Amino acid sequence: MMVPATAVAGAIVFGMANGAIAASFAVSGQTFKVGASRLEGTGFKQYGGFVKEKDGTAHPVAVSEIADAKLYDLCQSVKIPDLPIVLTINAGGGGNPATAKGLLIDMDSLGGDAEFKNIKIGRDATDLNAGATPKSFGQSADSVTITDLEQVARSTSAGVFTLNGLKLKVNVGAAAKECF
């Protein structure tokens, strides 16, 4: 029986790496910010959901799935609670975008200028993701482009996330500024 179990485990890992199966984990309870001058994506889906902290505290979120994404001038920041410290990650500058396959974002808010191609608004969320709440609102589009992206999120996962030109920095005191 070792071969079937190994095959199932391999299929699950393959599905997670390609974004077909979402990885489930407890969130920290802290939000982080993501900014980009431009996001270009294909295979866009969005619906409501919840994420949970380890202690069971639930947070309502907007879930966005993007099959393939390019992020130009990516900035991610997280503020350390009660301290003048901000961790920043920058990537995707100089025309060489950060890329993601199977991108899944659980967010509190999103801002920017968006254009959707072939958008369908008001879909049943379970048609977009079997794990979504039945009869809840969803939307999908063949592609999405968002300029001046500003997002506050609770979690992000991807099958593959390539950060070209990665720069991670711990900013302290007066330099402790978030992406936006």
Tell me the pTM. 0.84
Give dist(CA 3, CA 117) in Å, integer: 44
Q: What is the mean pLDDT of residues 126-144?
A: 96
- Neighbour tally for 100: CB within 10 Å: 26
Task: Tell me the pLDDT tens digit for each residue of 23-72.
Answer: 467 889 899 999 999 999 999 999 999 999 999 999 999 999 999 999 99
